[in-house]
Amino acid sequence: MKMMNTKNIIVALALGALSLGSLEVKAQQENFFRAIGTPHKPKVEIAWNRYYTAEGLWDWMRKIVAAHPNLAKVESIGKSVEGRDILTLTITDFSTGKDTDKPAMWIDGNIHSNEIQGGEFSLYVAWYLTEMHADNEFVKQLLKDKTFYITPTINPDARNNFFKEPNNANTPRSGMLVLDNDGDGQAGEDMMNDLDGDGHITMMIRKSPTGRFIKDPLDPRRLMQVGPDQVGEYEMLGQEGLDVDGDGEVNEDGIGYYDPNRDWGWNWQPDYIQRGALKYPFTLPENRAVMEFVMKHPNIAGAQSFHNSGGMILRGPGAEEDLNTYNREDIRIYDAIGKKGEEMIPGYRYLTVYKDLYSVFGGELDWFYGNRGIFTYTNELMVSYLYFHKEAGRGNQEEQLKVDELLTFGDAFVNWKEYKHPQFGTVEIGGFKKNFGRAHPGFLLEQDAHRNAAFTIYHAYHTPKLSVIDVKEEDLGGGLKAITATIFNERMMPTHASQDLKYKIERPDYVTISGAKVVAGFVVEDEDMKKFKEQKSSPEKMAVENIPGMGAVKVRWIVSSASNYSITVDSAKGGKASWKK
Amino acid sequence: MRKFLLTGLLLGSLICGDAFAQTDYPTLSQVTQRLQKLGSNASVELKTLTKTEGGKDIHVLKIGTGNKDQKPAIAVVGGVEGFHVLSVELALQFAEKLVAENSKVLESTTFYIFPNMSPDAYEQYHAALKYERRGNAVAVDHDRDGTPGDNGYSDINGDGLITWMRVEDPMGDWIVSKEDERVLVKADRSKGEAGKYRVFKESKDDDKDGKFAEDLKEGIAFNKSLTYKFPVFEPLAGDIAVSQKESRALLDYLFEQWNIFAFVTFSPANNLSAPLKYNAADARKRVVTSILEKDQAINAMVSEMYNKTVTPKAFQQTNQGTDGDFFQWAYFHFARLSFSTPGYWTPEFKGKTNAEANYLAWADSLGWNSFVPWTEVKHPDFPNQKVEVGGIKPFVMVNPPFEKVGEIAQQHTDFILKLAAMQPKLEFHNLKTEALGNGLTRITVDLYNNSPLPTHSEMGTRSRWMRKVRIDIDATADKLISGDKIKLMDSMGAYEKATFSWIIRGTGNVTIKAGASHTGFATQTVKL
């Protein structure tokens, strides 16, 4: 040991021989010091102040897997419309059991292609868990108990289109299928046109003696309306573009239009009722891949979908018609987690889609909950509160102009510039860039990613955790013995949501005794009053319909012989537990 | 079944001279042979859309001439219920008659014929164990106990048919019908009637859960798994609508066929002998559950035509759609005119009110042997009770003896051809050209829908999956002084006209074109 040089110390550190003393040594020698809550020396160094293309995200995912082979795996769960892989990370401590034997959390982002930061936020969860694992007891235990399935983008085609092709902050939103939007028999015959070639579809204005606007003399970026008794100078022409097909409309038939978040199979409704719906549930291969993965992973008990924007933690129902689907017991759990989220993510509000946002049939969160009984939130990432810690409201132009003046120094706005338009004559083109407003500016990304990641970790923590406690034996005489076992769930979520119980979505939990000769088996309804419900067939494998959150069920057997018996619990969403005498 | 058919043949008048004449509903391979024969015709394209889980082909015949995709089309669908074997034969015979005897209609109309959407279930008609099957060959856990298909039917009496079993039990709620002692009816508790039997489909409690035939060894029923009112989690429906290969393949195909304006489905639902009812409140709701008012009027008109064409008088036709079915999907979610008929029903006979008693009285009068007499059996689940197996044989109430099919097929062919004759028809009338001087010409023309049907059902005007009526003029932008180069109309009503005018500069010809795939196109060349 006395021969150990600096290099050896660092090697030893890397191998995990941590002590406070050695930390100090390291810090002094490395000229940087650990910040609380952040992986200190991550094996994978990711810059959290920019956005990554689909390939960029996948590159990080593969690097995470390469750096943490015992904690992360990556697989393709399907293909997109354009044939890209939908890549999913599985994060768990594989040394403590198969991923499918543990309660799991599903996380995805970017279902709407322009809602880009879901990709980075999802990736952040994977990065944080894998990089913190060595140093943090909570994360260690979490990955022993739980699995995370993380799919940073479930819309890789149009994510890339958003970055690489001309768009505004709201496009494409759909994936890359091109449909006939105006009913003229042709699909995509009048897409957006990037007239000034800057990659952003902004606005067109034109000088006009009858115009009702002027440029604000104090801020020429801003068009302001003149008074009813005043003459203006400019008219608004709308979005940057051309009338390509000569039908008198500009940009009326572009990519899409459809909404991947109206394509899910719970109370699905067609397009005339729910705009954006496609032909039938899971028309889209991207969503179908997720659906099939979830169906094959009944251990998924919680789910999170990242959207933008507005600073919301949303739960279902998406439509008032589904009000009865969400029942009281489950809403209590939703509320407990959602309200905690409001504390964790300043500026975000916990809301219900149908009454606080707008009606959505066929949305992802309703499918996860209604069809699979999975507690699910959608977070609308980015809220203007993050700019100045004021409630200026969504899309407040005054505030946005101020942000670009004081915080981003003109980086967010394309200044008005003249352009000779073939149909409108001389126009001016300008306005906010596609990556401003809905997307976080770089300096706000990491903090908000961490807070949202913390929220999903809290959510995942409260998926069920089962254990067999308090196994009691009672001699009944005549060679018979009663064994009563208590199965405890020490987290908030039950093994079966009440929606699940109502429709028998998932199989019951099984509590099995082995090494005993079972005469009869019961679920204990009231131990003190000796109320037992007998299961006549296969009493050694008791079927329990649910193990409630922060609660327990008791199972009782009458056995004629039992010495070294063991008890196992097998729950689809609650994982496994065992006890041995 | 066979015996009953032979009896029927002997008594029936139809003794066909053709040595190869069919005497029973065709097997799947016979269906395929007939489709292949049809496919050899120049006007017919035969295509396989997919294979079912059971390895059976889902076929479509596209029948037409010339530019098939630009003419209004009718889709004819059979086999939406596997036990409704008649429906497959009706779709097939329609195709055969269309090609052999009515090919002139193909000049103006295209037909899509999907003869059998439930081949996995259809096969049960010809299987050693016969029962009325709906589901395909996918393994499904209908009772959601964790094990798929663990309590299907059992042929307790070994006759090769799944009928019923009745268990004598004072706690049962079934009694013998007063109209026919073979028939069981529910005891009327409101009249103080005591029950005598418990009644189950012929089965054993294989999974020992106290229930009988609750987890059938068949999969998803096509006609219970579409998106309109999808009965989620119910047996035979599954967890997700349109989850099956055949349903997805059919819909994927239909969504590419923009010219279909109407569906005729042979299925147990019936909106032809009587139209659907309009309910203003349900039609106004966001999730629409009533036919829309204008579409109801169309349904009534077509229904009247049907009743003039198809002679059997309707009796006990109360099924106007069931949750997740196909015929309602075609209207409520695909926005096309949608008609369905079972093609056959038992006529009213001797004033019986109970459907089974009525059927048996009629069958008896024709000497049909369609009842398995109640016979006592030993049943392992009821060791100490009297159990009898019996009841009306499977299939016979919804499928007539085969020799009856010819007439039904002829009348329904006539009906479909009359429906085709009603299709939207766009025409140009009253063309006027006026020289305005200095090389300018004003063109005025009326576009007329010469049809008792509108170009779009009321539902169709709401759907993005029906194209609008598009009017194009091929003048270049510099020549077009006024008027729209492209104009879109949501709909044109029955016998409705719209007037258009343009001012064009220069000389030569311009062409005006109007229409949509499902209305056909009208063109008009104008000399300036």
Residue A413 — φ and ψ, nearest 5°? -125, 135
Tokens 């489709």, located at residue: B35
Sorted by sequence, the CB contacts under 8 Å of residue A177 that are 6+ apart come out as A81, A255, A256, A258, A284
Give the amino acid at A400. Q
**pLDDT band, very low/low/confident/very high, at B20 (cuts 50, 70, 90):** low
Helix/strand/coil for B331: helix
Question: Contact B230/A268, CB-based, under 8 Å?
Answer: yes
In DSSP terms, which residues pair with A361 in a beta bridge?
none
Q: Kind of pairing, strands A300-308 and A104-109? A: parallel
A534 touches chain B (CB under 8 A): no
pLDDT at B44: 98
Mean pLDDT along residues B247-253: 98
Among partner residues B209, B239, B486, which is closest to A247 by beta-carbon distance?
A: B486
Question: Contact B477/A246, CB-based, under 8 Å?
Answer: yes
User: Whole-number mean pLDDT of chain A?
Assistant: 94
User: Best of B286, B338, B461 to disrupt the A interface by mutation (most A CBs within 10 Å)?
Assistant: B286
Q: What is the pLDDT of residues B323-339, one digit of tens each?
A: 999 999 999 999 999 99
Sorted by sequence, the CB contacts under 8 Å of residue B420 that are 6+ apart come out as B74, B105, B108, B109, B111
* Nearest residue of chain A to residue B461 (CA atoms): A272
Measure the CA–CA gap between B154 and B162, rounded to whole angstroms. Answer: 7
Question: Contact A507/B485, CB-based, under 8 Å?
Answer: no
Distance of CA B468 to the CA centre of its chain: 26
Going A342 to A344 to A348 to A351, the CA torsion angle's sign is: negative
Question: Contact A245/B145, CB-based, under 8 Å?
Answer: no
Angle value at C-alpha B185, between B180 and B189, nearest 5 degrees: 130
Mean pLDDT along residues B463-467: 97
Please determine, for residue B13, whether its predicted confidence score (pLDDT) is greater than 50. Answer: no
CB atoms within 10 A of CB A32: 9
Please determine, for residue B4, whether its predicted confidence score (pLDDT) is greater than 60. Answer: no
Q: What is chain B's Cα-based Rg?
A: 27
Tokens 């140009």, located at residue: B428
A180 touches chain B (CB under 8 A): yes
- Closest listed residue to residue B118, CA positions, set B95, B104, B134, B107: B134
Among partner residues B233, B242, B470, which is closest to A503 by beta-carbon distance?
A: B233
Please determine, for residue B9, whether its predicted confidence score (pLDDT) is greater than 50. Answer: no
Mean pLDDT along residues A57-68: 98
Sorted by sequence, the CB contacts under 8 Å of residue B520 that are 6+ apart come out as B70, B71, B72, B108, B423, B424, B425, B426
Mean pLDDT along residues A467-479: 95
**pLDDT band, very low/low/confident/very high, at A25 (cuts 50, 70, 90):** low
Which strands form A300-308's sheet, in the order they lie side by side? A72-79, A85-91, A147-151, A104-109, A300-308, A375-381, A312-315, A349-352
Among partner residues A185, A245, A282, which is closest to B516 by beta-carbon distance?
A: A185
Helices B405-421 and B85-101: crossing angle in degrees, nearest 10, is: 60
CB B272 within 8 A of CB B303: yes
Distance of CA B518 to the CA centre of its chain: 20
**pLDDT band, very low/low/confident/very high, at B22 (cuts 50, 70, 90):** confident
Name the percent of chain B lying above pLDDT 90.
Answer: 95
Measure the CA–CA gap between A409 and A413, rounded to whole angstroms. Answer: 9
Q: What is the pLDDT of residues A41-62, one digit of tens each?
A: 999 999 999 999 999 999 999 9
Mean pLDDT along residues B306-326: 97
Written as six digits, the tokens of B232 are: 């989620």
Sorted by sequence, the CB contacts under 8 Å of residue B347 that are 6+ apart come out as B312, B313, B315, B362
Give the amino acid at A80. S
A503 touches chain B (CB under 8 A): yes
Q: Which chain A residues contact residue B463 at CB under 8 A?
A: 270-272
CB A78 within 8 A of CB A274: no
- Closest listed residue to residue B146, CA positions, set A145, A572, A414: A572
Measure the CA–CA gap between B1 and B4, rounded to whole angstroms. Answer: 5
Looking at CA atoms only, how far is residue B310 from chain A in angstroms?
A: 34
pLDDT at B17: 39
Q: Which chain A residues contact residue B252 at CB under 8 A?
A: 279
Q: Kind of pairing, strands B260-266 and B337-341? A: parallel
Distance of CA A181 to the CA centre of its chain: 29
Q: Which chain B residues contact residue A505 at CB under 8 A?
A: 144, 233, 239
Written as six digits, the tokens of A359 are: 């009606």
Give the amino acid at A246. G
* Nearest residue of chain A to residue B254 (CA atoms): A279
Which strands form B426-437's sheet, in the order they lie side by side? B426-437, B440-449, B497-505, B480-482
CA dihedral angle for residue A265, residue A266, residue A271, residue A272, rounded to 10 degrees: 150
Question: Contact A183/B145, CB-based, under 8 Å?
Answer: no
A292 touches chain B (CB under 8 A): no
CB A222 within 8 A of CB A415: no
CA dihedral angle for residue B32, residue B35, residue B37, residue B39, rounded to 10 degrees: -130
Please determine, for residue A18, whether its predicted confidence score (pLDDT) is greater than 80. Answer: no
**pLDDT band, very low/low/confident/very high, at B12 (cuts 50, 70, 90):** very low
Please determine, for residue B355, whether its predicted confidence score (pLDDT) is greater than 70. Answer: yes
Q: Kind of pairing, strands A480-489 and A551-571? A: antiparallel
In what helix (H) or strand (E) does residue A108 lie, and over which residues does it extend?
A: strand A104-109
Mean pLDDT along residues A475-498: 97
pLDDT at A26: 54
Note the ipTM here.
Answer: 0.94
Question: Contact A281/B333, CB-based, under 8 Å?
Answer: no
Burial of A449: CB neighbours in 10 Å, binned 0-12, 13-18, 19+: buried
Q: What is the pLDDT of residues A207-218, one digit of tens each?
A: 999 999 999 999
Mean pLDDT along residues A511-521: 97
Mean pLDDT along residues A537-563: 95
Q: What is the pLDDT of residues B147-158, one digit of tens each?
A: 999 999 999 999
Q: Cα–Cα distances in Å, from B133 out to A62, B83, B123, B238?
A: 50, 5, 9, 16
Helix/strand/coil for B92: helix
Measure the CA–CA gap between A198 and A433, rounded to whole angstroms. Answer: 9
Q: What is the pLDDT of residues B266-279, one digit of tens each?
A: 999 999 999 999 99
Looking at CA atoms only, how far is residue A505 from chain B in angstroms?
A: 7
Sorted by sequence, the CB contacts under 8 Å of residue A333 that are 6+ apart come out as A375, A462, A492, A493, A494, A549
- Closest listed residue to residue A171, CA positions, set A195, A197, A196, A193: A193
Sorted by sequence, the CB contacts under 8 Å of residue B193 that are 6+ apart come out as B175, B187
A246 touches chain B (CB under 8 A): yes
A293 touches chain B (CB under 8 A): no
Question: Contact A184/B286, CB-based, under 8 Å?
Answer: no
Measure the CA–CA gap between B324 and B233, rounded to whole angstroms. Answer: 12
Q: If phi over 0 gives left and psi between -120 and 50 gives alpha, with beta otherwise, what is residue B216?
A: beta
Name the percent of chain A lying above pLDDT 70.
Answer: 95
Mean pLDDT along residues A315-331: 94
Q: What is chain A's Cα-based Rg?
A: 28
CB A353 within 8 A of CB A316: yes
Measure the CA–CA gap between B26 and B277, rounded to whole angstroms. Answer: 36
Among partner residues A184, A321, A371, which is closest to B287 by beta-carbon distance?
A: A321
Among partner residues B247, B333, B467, which is closest to A270 by beta-carbon distance?
A: B333
Name the percent of chain B lying above pLDDT 70.
Answer: 96
Measure the CA–CA gap between B217 and B423, rounded to whole angstroms. Answer: 43
* Nearest residue of chain A to residue B488 (CA atoms): A184
- Closest listed residue to residue B436, CA positions, set B496, B340, B504, B525: B504
Q: Across the A/B interface, how many CB contacts are shorter than 8 Å?
A: 95
* Nearest residue of chain A to residue B285 (CA atoms): A273
Q: Which residue has the higher pLDDT, B195 or B13?
A: B195
**pLDDT band, very low/low/confident/very high, at A358 (cuts 50, 70, 90):** very high
Question: Contact A268/B227, CB-based, under 8 Å?
Answer: yes
CB atoms within 10 A of CB A321: 16
Which strands form B520-527's sheet, in the order they lie side by side? B486-489, B469-473, B509-516, B520-527
A504 touches chain B (CB under 8 A): yes
User: Whole-number mean pLDDT of chain B?
Assistant: 95
A545 touches chain B (CB under 8 A): no
The residues of B whose Cβ lies within 8 A of any Cβ of A are: 144-146, 208-209, 226-227, 230, 232-233, 239-243, 247-248, 251-252, 255, 258, 286-288, 332-333, 335, 459, 462-468, 470, 477, 484-486, 488, 516-517
A33 touches chain B (CB under 8 A): no
Q: Which of the residue ranges A15-29, A393-407, A494-508, B442-456 would you say has the lowest mean pLDDT?
A: A15-29
CB B481 within 8 A of CB A245: no
A399 touches chain B (CB under 8 A): no
Q: What is the pLDDT of residues B429-459, one digit of tens each?
A: 999 999 999 999 999 999 999 999 999 999 9
Q: Kind of pairing, strands A147-151 and A104-109? A: parallel
SS3 for A59-99 is HHHHHHHHHCCCCEEEEEEEECCCCCEEEEEEECCHHHCCH
pLDDT at B11: 41
Q: What is the pLDDT of residues B503-513, one digit of tens each?
A: 999 999 999 99
Mean pLDDT along residues A416-436: 98
